[in-house]
Amino acid sequence: MFQLDSVRHRYPGGAELAFPDWSLAQGGRAVLVGPSGSGKTTLLSLLGGLLRPSAGKVSLAGQDLGALPPGKLDAFRGRQVGFVPQRPHLIASLTVADNLRLAQYLAHLPQDSQRIEAVLHELGLAGLGNRKPHQLSQGQAQRVAIGRAVVNRPALLLADEPTASLDDDAAEAVVSLLQKVADEAGACLLVASHDSRVKDRFETRFALGVSKEQAA
Ligand code: ADP
Ligand code: MG
């Protein structure tokens, strides 16, 4: 489903991050581990097409992301990738349902209210579609962010440290929910986490280390 080929990234003025040639097959489930600063968020951003690598190739569903011009990359990403960021980043002025509708719009997909209803139902958010983000609990907002990530049935679902601020029961529930929605969407799932409660739930583990250059 995704394939990395000699991928490196260097932020302006920063050390170079080099990523192994990892790949995940369709339907795969994996956790991405590594200490803070090892490049987990960077790798998710590269896989999600939010960041272009300084060198190497990222392929998703057989498509080389680097070969897509910006406009096409946006639509491709909108359809193929669901990204659950560390914080929900919902649009404050839009209702919950419209936050999901925006994801359909940005992917150039037809408006599908039934799909939105079904996703909200699946996430235990039925009846909250007309609320604004400030009327949600933190846990509800996180589930809306998960809903926004899966509403277009992406091929790849990425989640960045989704359990960092949660207690054991809530962390367990979020991982189960991510696995359930990935199953339902037929998506690959990659979760970045240094949380042992998450690590133990995945058979496939990609581990990033800190390079000598970064440690220096
Ligand atoms: P992780 O998610 O594993 O904590 P990150 O991918 O956020 O790691 O960061 C990897 C490295 O890149 C760190 O050294 C971090 O300081 C640096 N970095 C991350 N984002 C930026 C940025 N926007 N500009 C410059 N350096 C960055
Ligand atoms: Mg991070």
Domain that holds residue 117: 2-215
Q: What is the pLDDT of residues 55-95, one digit of tens each?
A: 999 999 999 999 999 889 998 999 999 999 999 999 999 99
CATH of the domain at 187: 3.40.50.300
- Residues that place a CB less than 5 A from ion ligand 2: 40-41
Provide mean pLDDT across the span 24-34: 94
Per-residue confidence (pLDDT) for residue 114, from 0 to 100: 97
Q: Which residues, in sequence order, are bridge partners of residue 60?
A: 2, 63
What spacing in Å lies between the alpha carbon of 112 and ligand 2's midpoint?
A: 32
Report how many domains make up the chain: 1
Other Cβ atoms within 10 Å of 124 Cβ, number: 13
pLDDT band per the 50, 70, 90 thresholds, residue 164 = confident
- pLDDT exceeds 80 at position 149: yes
* Rounded CA separation 17/155 (Å): 26
The pTM (predicted TM-score) of the whole model is 0.93
If residue 145 lies in a helix (H) or strand (E), which one and from where to where? helix 138-150
DSSP 133: G
Q: Is 193 a pocket residue for ligand 1 (Cβ < 6 Å)?
A: no
Q: Is 85 a pocket residue for ligand 1 (Cβ < 6 Å)?
A: no
Q: What is the mean pLDDT of the chain?
A: 93
What spacing in Å lies between the alpha carbon of 113 and ligand 1's midpoint?
A: 37
Per-residue confidence (pLDDT) for residue 213, from 0 to 100: 57
